[in-house]
Amino acid sequence: MSDHLFAPLRLGELTLPNRIVMPPMTRARAADGEVPTDMMAQYYQQRASAGLIISEGTQINRQGQGYAWTPGIYTAEQIEGWRKVTAAVHRAGGRIFAQLWHVGRLSHFSLQPSGQAPVAPSALVADGVQVFIDPQSLGATHGTHGDGQKVQHSPPRALATAEVGILVRDFAAAAESALTAGFDGVELHGANGYLINQFLDSGSNHRTDIYGGSLRNRLRFLEEVAHAVATVVGPERVGVRLSPLITAQGTTDATPESTYLAAARLLDKLGIGYLHIAEADWDDAPLMPATFKEALRQIYSGVMIYSGHYDRSRADEALALGWTDLVGFGRPFIANPDLPRRLQLGASLNTGNPALYFGGSAQGYIDYPYLDDVLG
């Protein structure tokens, strides 16, 4: 195998020691008030040998929450909780970006302010798409932290035009809070069927104002958010995650290649630091055509990240072909806090326990053994 994966890379003012990214993964272990915990700080610190860590999705406001026990970054307590996380990562020599998140329609009234309906570009329901909630929020008398209940997301209401501008400002405020909390940069979550993705895709955006209809209008929300956040933190400290061909959470586009090449061109014009492409990560998922990846590479001149069912061999191939600079390893990082070392040595990997991925305690979170523990 080649050494591409372990070569350093410059990202803005950061020097990444390797090309291995820990991508954002929801773990649902925040405390009451959606505050990051000391246990979360330990979890991220354990994985600080990644070239870059991108935090789990972090809601920019209460309205942006779609699942129980996910962290926010809009209160003083949440910012202080994240400050402990970033300090722990930095003490271990790591680098960490905050992923800024608004789920849009993929929420439930029990998670929303005053039990209101979730918001979206258009009042469309993604049938069969579930979110997980705290049963106690519906009046259950039993259940523990992490004992979530899956339910169909609640029917959303369409955002008024004036409200869209408020959300742009909330993203910018969250970016400023991320800097206060000690993050090295921020990533905008524009993938996997959440709010920015809902504006981008023609199947989820039926608006008739300046944010809907034409491709130019459907790109407008992404452009305004990216510009506002870049103004706060600097464009080189901003990444954007997109999922051009993933339709798993109800977002579909009539012409995805045209739409996402246009989005890449827009982000390149803004000077955004990196573009993070999420590929489908299930075994029989359709692969992005090589021609599509090559076209994205030609259009976007910044750093490229690809995530989705990568192993050492696939990562080496992607880097050698030149259409990416960094590779995200998702689930392997859950069970292998020292994943870069294991990959470099060709060592066996711990197997994760999916039943413990979301919510709960230290079990299945910070108790996976390091390679040295296994070797003795």
The H or E element that residue 229 is part of is helix 220-233
- Give the length of the chain: 376
Whether 74 is catalytic: no
- pTM over the 0.85 mark: yes
What would the pLDDT profile of 260-306 be if each residue is shown by its tens digit?
Answer: 999 999 999 999 999 999 998 766 566 789 999 999 999 999 999 99
Structural domain boundaries, residue 134: 4-375
Q: Are 98 and 183 in contact (CB under 8 A)?
A: yes
* Token pair recorded at residue 59: 């809601």
Q: Say what the pLDDT of residue 140 is.
A: 45
> How far is residue 370 from each of residues 139, 196, 271, measured CA to CA in Å?
41, 37, 38
**Amino acid letter at 33?**
G
- Tokens 């711990």 correspond to 350
Q: Are 324 and 276 in contact (CB under 8 A)?
A: no
Q: Which residues of the chain have pLDDT under 50?
A: 140-144
| CA separation for the pair 300, 269 (Å, rounded) | 9
Q: Are 85 and 43 in contact (CB under 8 A)?
A: no
DSSP H helical ranges for 28-157? 38-46, 76-91
| CA separation for the pair 212, 66 (Å, rounded) | 23
Give the rounded distance of the alpha carbon of 62 from its chain centre: 17
- Set 194, 260, 306, 368: catalytic member: 194
| CA separation for the pair 183, 164 (Å, rounded) | 26
* Maximum CA extent, the chain: 64
| CA separation for the pair 293, 306 (Å, rounded) | 10
| CA separation for the pair 257, 265 (Å, rounded) | 12
Backbone angles phi, psi at 313, to 5 degrees: -65, -50
Query: Given its phi and psi angles, is residue 213 left (phi above 0), alpha (psi -120 to 50 degrees) or beta?
Result: left
Q: Are 331 and 308 in contact (CB under 8 A)?
A: no
Number of domains in the chain: 1
Q: Which of 340, 338, 364 has the alpha carbon at shortest distance from 352?
A: 364
Backbone angles phi, psi at 11, to 5 degrees: -125, 100
Q: Say what the pLDDT of residue 283 is.
A: 63
Q: Say what the pLDDT of residue 1 is.
A: 62
Neighbours of 342 (CB within 10 A): 19
Domain CATH code at residue 335: 3.20.20.70
What is residue 2's three-state secondary structure?
coil
Neighbours of 182 (CB within 10 A): 18
Q: Say what the pLDDT of residue 136 is.
A: 77
Q: Are 298 and 330 in contact (CB under 8 A)?
A: no
